[in-house]
Amino acid sequence: MKGEQHAPWITAILIALVLGVFALFAYFNPRSEYDLGGGIALRMPQWHPWEDWAAAQREEAETQRRQDSLESWALADTVEVSAPLRRPKPGQGAIQFSDSDTLGMAKLAQGLQQLHSGGVLRILHFGDSQIEGDRITGDLRDALQALYGGEGAGMQPLVPFVPMAAVAHTAEGAWTRMVSFGRANDKSPTNMYGPRGISHRYATKSASGPDAKVRYSPRSYGYPRARQSRSFSLLHGPAKGPVEIKWYANDTLWKIDYLDSNARSGALRAVATQPVKSLSLEFRGASPDWYGLSMDGPTGVRVDNVAMRGADGLSFTRMDRGHFMASLQREPVGLVILQFGGNAVPYFKSKEAVMRYGEAFRRQIRLFQEALPGANILVVGPSDMAVKEGLDWVSYPFVDDVRDALKMAAFEEGAAFFDVMDFMGGPGGMVDWVNQNPPLAGPDHIHFTPRGAKKVAKALVESMQAELQRHE
């Protein structure tokens, strides 16, 4: 009857029935994704409460195992230092620490010294477009590998974005790149991206043969140690169906791996007795998310260059927290470098906004410290950046405030800081670097030339070596 109202208990029963129907459908639904063809997929809900509970228990146990492993070699806060902390003068380009920090990079130094008896230690260098192509990272990697052993160029994406200095990289197939930063339509529906914050997935083909291929080989330039690798790890997410992966070393079939439909996140590994000149991978079957291919030596220092073009450095806490932390803990990490700030500079309208950015950056530091208690954190501040006003180039209004906010965030969280802007000469330094002959920065007055990036890298490497010598 029109206008008649139902009793509340009837409405509650209807709601419960609707939810029950959805729960039954999710419980009996065998797949989370249905391929409709043409690159279109229909995602449907799944609900497996007992399996999810068991998976959560396994993940918790694995996380605790990694934590115990890390703590077995991590330094205690009472570690002794053999020399006093060096306080740099302005413009020296030295790594800086807060006044209350007397330990400096003792954790990194301890981890590196342990390499003399074998093992591996990873260094993660996250940054924006200033480090693309292995700039800055490559110099630091070569210097540390020369002192402590190691080889290889570290973690590579499945699909090339910006060419690496030491690695030639090609890919075939219909690949999708998903990033934890940038536009919403570039995000992964799972919010899981692996340790690099970047993942890839290919589309299956209806024809016979592999669905996708990737190939890595050394370039004729770049540091020699980075051009050779013997240890490989292919990181993947949960399987969406059976997958076959063929490994070709020097164009000869090396091994074949399989993932079944129930495979969870993990890594496929291959180790050669001699450096592999070229490595190719062929994929056939439903693609999981691929998080990267690590190209390293069997022992020594492993250094990853993770260039995140356009990133503001705040995306780490936006990812699936448990997944990201677990992906960082797959092997010992001695140092995390966070080189950000430049992409945020042009958008600030007030110092209050800059301070909020600094607080958000502190949360990124705390995330890495929680995940990697045995690692030091180094924040690399932004370079000077200039914008044209009339006929003149002047520094962006808040670039020095961003530098100060990141420095404060680093010091308050017990992290180190390297001041690129100060090394360039402070505000106005970018104009001077552009006008050098040959130029140290490009005509956009934002990015370094290869020569400028090399100059910054040299200062960072020398500063790092001076800090490590203090702990010998």
Interval 437-470: pLDDT, tens:
999 999 999 999 999 999 999 999 999 999 999 9
Query: Is the domain of 448 the same as that of 327?
Result: yes
Domain assignment present for 305: yes
Domain assignment present for 377: yes
Q: Which stretches of 279-336 are DSSP H helices?
A: 321-328
Query: Is the domain of 139 the same as that of 193?
Result: no
156-160, 181-185, 217-221, 283-287: range with lowest mean pLDDT:
181-185
Question: What is the residue-averaged pLDDT of the chain?
Answer: 87
> pLDDT tens digits, residue range 100-130?
998 999 999 999 999 999 999 999 999 999 9
pLDDT at 6: 61
For residue 206, name the pLDDT band (cuts at 50, 70, 90): confident
Domain end (from 282, 297, 312): 297
Domain assignment present for 432: yes
Query: Is the domain of 286 the same as that of 367?
Result: no
Domain assignment present for 396: yes
Query: Is the domain of 173 the same as that of 311?
Result: no
b/e map of 200-234 (b: 16 or more CB within 10 Å)? Answer: bbbbbeeeeebbbbbbbebeeebbebbbbbbbbbb
Domain assignment present for 23: no
pLDDT at 51: 44
Give CA 122 to chain center in angstroms: 12
For residue 15, name the pLDDT band (cuts at 50, 70, 90): confident
Whether 341 and 406 have beta carbons less than 8 Å apart is answered as: yes
pLDDT at 184: 85
Residue 80 pLDDT > 80, yes or no? no
Q: Which stretches of 41-160 are DSSP H helices?
A: 49-73, 106-114, 137-148
* CATH classification of the domain holding 284: 2.60.120.260
> pLDDT tens digits, residue range 311-353?
999 999 999 999 999 999 999 999 999 999 999 999 999 999 9
83-87, 90-94, 277-281: range with lowest mean pLDDT:
83-87
- Percent pLDDT > 90 in the chain is 76
DSSP 104-125: TTHHHHHHHHHGGGS-EEEEEE
Domain end (from 297, 321, 354): 297
> pLDDT tens digits, residue range 171-193?
999 999 999 998 888 999 999 99
Query: Is the domain of 335 the same as that of 288?
Result: no
- Percent pLDDT > 70 in the chain is 82
> pLDDT tens digits, residue range 30-68?
444 444 444 444 555 555 454 444 444 444 544 444 444
Whether 276 and 249 have beta carbons less than 8 Å apart is answered as: yes
Residue 287 pLDDT > 90, yes or no? yes
Domain assignment present for 116: yes
Domain assignment present for 12: no
Which DSSP helix (H) or strand (E) runs through 471?
Answer: none
Query: Is the domain of 161 the same as that of 262?
Result: yes
CA distances from 301 to 141, 160, 246, 330, 444 (A): 8, 23, 28, 15, 35
26-30, 247-251, 302-306: range with lowest mean pLDDT:
26-30
For residue 71, name the pLDDT band (cuts at 50, 70, 90): very low
Query: Is the domain of 66 the same as that of 92?
Result: yes
pLDDT at 39: 42
Query: Is the domain of 229 the same as that of 335?
Result: no
- Entry pTM: 0.82
Give CA 412 to chain center in angstroms: 23
Residue range(s) defining the domain that contains residue 73: 52-150+299-472
Q: What is the number of structural domains in the chain?
A: 2
Residue 410 pLDDT > 50, yes or no? yes
User: Which of the pair, 424 or 92, is modelled with greater confidence?
Assistant: 424
pLDDT at 187: 94
